[in-house]
Structure 1
Amino acid sequence: MAGPAPMPAVALSTAPPKVTLLSSPAAPYDGAIAAARTCYSPRVIERREITEKQRDAIGPLTFEGGHHTVFQHAHFEFGLENISRQLVWSVLHSYPFYNSEQSSQRYVKLNEPRAFVPPITGEALDVYEQAVLKAWDSYARLSALLKDGAWAILKELRYVRATNSPARLKAVERESEKKAIETARYVIPIGAFTSMVHTVSGIVLHRLYRMLNAGDVPYEAAMVIGAMVDLVKEVDPMFFDKIGLDTFAREAMPELQFPNTRASGDAFAAEFDRRLQGRVSRLRDWSAGAERVVADAVRATFGITTVEMGDEEAIDRVMNPARNPYRVDMLDVAYHSPMMRTLNHANYVFEKKLSHTADSQDQRHRMVPASRPMMTLADTTQPDYITPRLIRQNPEALVVYEQAMAEAWTAKNKLLALGVPLEYALYVVPNAKALRLVESGSFIALQHKWTLRTCFNAQEEIYLASMDEISQVKEIHPQLGRYLGPPCVLRNKIVSPRCTEGTHFCGVPVWNSFPNAERRL
């Protein structure tokens, strides 16, 4: 099945960030003033009623008084193109209050080398460009090498026979290609371009502007967030001219006052990995009395005593999908259910290790926040990366992969030796770069995440982390952990269809043997 050898990439394509304001309210500042006035009115105040005097007085008064919710009603929808995945991970998706739809490297083949290029020149620029081009060459080679391995597995999972129709065979072949590029993307630099639709509220845009120096990419963040602010000013100059604060200076950021040496990143990585004890995710802390607390919360919700309903019955009514249809509702209505809100009171903390590309998906679970590393402070001098299973199982691909990792770190360290700031040098680090983080969440958020991420179609690393997490939760809280698993397990014998993936069914009847079913891809 392997095709001809891929042609090497010949040129790096780059461009400045492109920011487009796709939609916004017509008069967001007047809308905020009208909302503020409504608080002290028996009726809803409309924007057309706002006077210049009110704009000058009420806006600054509410902003400086900390009454910021009035500036949250206005939402701005942006199209962002030619931005790096490092910017997205470090800044745009590092907090919960946004909505994004982003181009996927898992399913979109990366044919042309396209990446962010920082303001460097001379030998440093040549090293940078060659690092990106080499990574793209490795991506092309791995995409070809991994396709046969994916095909061999999918052929069994999809029960492919010689008598199958050409259309059927073609569909499985396309799926093999997707699995191959999904895995090959680990060698792509984090400076690679992405595009997205990104929506934030007015107050969040103010906060982004205030804190644009807080992440690992202040140069790129200033360009992108600055453009977002400028576009809103074109719609309504008052939204930033009459209220707001200047950007925190980079040198004034308290994060940069922490002690740091080049060697500390390697030492921290080794120390953290010892604590993981071979797991992807390790349960670090938890609500010791979680099951009793949740049961008490159930009884408080319904006004019943412990005599009328014991702990096990209370928890079963909430967690058992046969008794609680919200567990299998496609809209995820947990936060709107008085009964399921009782799960807010059990909390768990995990230490985990994921690649940059996996964590870029993991952080989209915004109700399960994490303390993620500042890569400019936790950089490792030695190659430090995650290797996907499909590559580990393919000796030829593994050689290509390990060479790509070595080349990436050599380029990054060479850039540093040439005097390039670490902020810029990190753009050539691959998606495979290992990140170590501390993540926590309430059980109401975690059970939703685990339902999605224990599906065999979930990203491999997040699946493995989720399996680690639910196994440890079950050990300490068996009643809460009894009904955890992917949609097909929760829906089995309750609602139809069991699998919610439609034509993307993994091919394995996981519901028969979860959590012991073997995931091969």
Structure 2
Amino acid sequence: MKVVLLEHTPHPDEVVAAAARLCYSASDIGTIRERLGGSRARDLVLKLLNLGHESPLEHVSFTFGIEEVSRALSHQLVRHRIASYSQQSQRYVKMGGFSYVLPPSIAENKEARQKFEQLMGDLQESYGDLLRVVPAEDARYILPNACTTKLIATFNARSLYNFFTLRLCTRSQWEIRALAWEMLKLAKVEAPAIFSAAGPDCWGPHGCGEGEMSCRQPPERI
């Protein structure tokens, strides 16, 4: 898995703080921003998070480049609707000799790994055979969920919070959970105040929301 932060809104703390302050100020936007110098923007962002006033977070965005992840992951990722995605097309990009993700539980089991890798090899060969006689858009029907893909994904900060709450939970699927950790680490470097409270439900003031399905093993904070 490779994850990079391609772009983000410049001065994210100031943008969020200015958006929040604007709602209650008669001043023009330039004056509001001037008054948010030093630690004032950061302090206001932390106050907003504490109060649960999340709408100003929607004014800043973060764009991630994501590679070497499975189609099984991407199918889960795009369920987060308030985000924008561009994904490598299996219709137009020929996937001959495709790479794939090997789940840890299979990698650790000798017999399972042998069967898995044999099946992947058979599918690679069959896919190549089909490409010679049918269009790629039809040959792709035999490609597995393990097949790797590439995406560029853009979230606003509020949507990212929701993503982190759901996907950093230890009950989420291992691969997308690993992606969420990498994305949070990158986002916190550029916007530490904004993402200071980001994490699974169990890190929050109300605790785990999984009820009887709770793992009761909160992940370590970063």
- The answer to whether the aligner puts 1:475 opposite 2:189 as a matched pair is yes
2:71 to 349, 356, 360: 356
Whether the 8 Å contact between 1:450 and 1:466 is mirrored in structure 2 is: yes
Higher relative contact order (CA 8 A, sep 6+): 2
1:316 to 46, 54, 57: 46
Q: Tell me, what secondary structure is at the counterpart of 1:283? A: strand
The CA deviation string for residues 390-423 of structure 1, in whole angstroms up to 9 with x for no partner, is 1122222111111111111111111122x12222
Query: What is the aligned-residue RMSD (CA, Å)?
Result: 1.8
Partner of 1:407: 122
Cα distance change, pair 437–488 in 1 and its aligned pair in 2 (3 A): same
Partner of 2:15: 293
Alignment of 1:188-267 (within 5 A): none
1:390 to 105, 115, 119: 105
Q: Tell me, what secondary structure is at the counterpart of 2:177? A: helix
Identity of aligned residues (%): 25
**TM-score when normalising by structure 2:** 0.88
CA distance in structure 1 between the partners assigned to 2:114 and 2:98 by the alignment: 15
Please report how far the alpha carbon of residue 436 of structure 1 lies from its aligned counterpart in structure 2 after TM superposition. 0.3
Partner of 1:489: 203
1:500 to 209, 212, 220: 209
Gaps of at least 5 residues in structure 2 are 27-31
Q: Tell me, what secondary structure is at the counterpart of 2:193? A: helix
- The answer to whether the aligner puts 1:426 opposite 2:140 as a matched pair is yes
Whether the 8 Å contact between 2:202 and 2:208 is mirrored in structure 1 is: yes
Q: Tell me, what secondary structure is at the counterpart of 1:457? A: coil
Whether the 8 Å contact between 2:98 and 2:148 is mirrored in structure 1 is: no
Q: Tell me, what secondary structure is at the counterpart of 2:83? A: coil
**TM-score when normalising by structure 1:** 0.39
Please report how far the alpha carbon of residue 480 of structure 1 lies from its aligned counterpart in structure 2 after TM superposition. 1.1
The CA deviation string for residues 300-331 of structure 1, in whole angstroms up to 9 with x for no partner, is 12228637x92122101222xxx32x4xxxxx
Please report how far the alpha carbon of residue 488 of structure 1 lies from its aligned counterpart in structure 2 after TM superposition. 0.4
Whether the 8 Å contact between 2:164 and 2:198 is mirrored in structure 1 is: yes
CA distance in structure 2 between the partners assigned to 1:395 and 1:425 by the alignment: 30
Cα distance change, pair 343–509 in 1 and its aligned pair in 2 (3 A): closer
Gaps of at least 5 residues in structure 1 are 1-278, 327-338, 516-521
Number of aligned residue pairs: 212
Q: Tell me, what secondary structure is at the counterpart of 1:478? A: coil
CA distance in structure 2 between the partners assigned to 1:310 and 1:455 by the alignment: 32
Q: Tell me, what secondary structure is at the counterpart of 1:351? A: strand
Cα distance change, pair 509–365 in 1 and its aligned pair in 2 (3 A): closer
CA distance in structure 1 between the partners assigned to 2:135 and 2:192 by the alignment: 50
Whether the 8 Å contact between 1:280 and 1:464 is mirrored in structure 2 is: no
1:345 to 59, 62, 73: 59
1:370 to 85, 103, 106: 85
Partner of 1:416: 131
Structure possessing the higher radius of gyration over alpha carbons: 1
The CA deviation string for residues 210-247 of structure 1, in whole angstroms up to 9 with x for no partner, is xxxxxxxxxxxxxxxxxxxxxxxxxxxxxxxxxxxxxx
Partner of 1:458: 172
Q: Tell me, what secondary structure is at the counterpart of 1:446? A: helix
Please report how far the alpha carbon of residue 387 of structure 1 lies from its aligned counterpart in structure 2 after TM superposition. 1.3
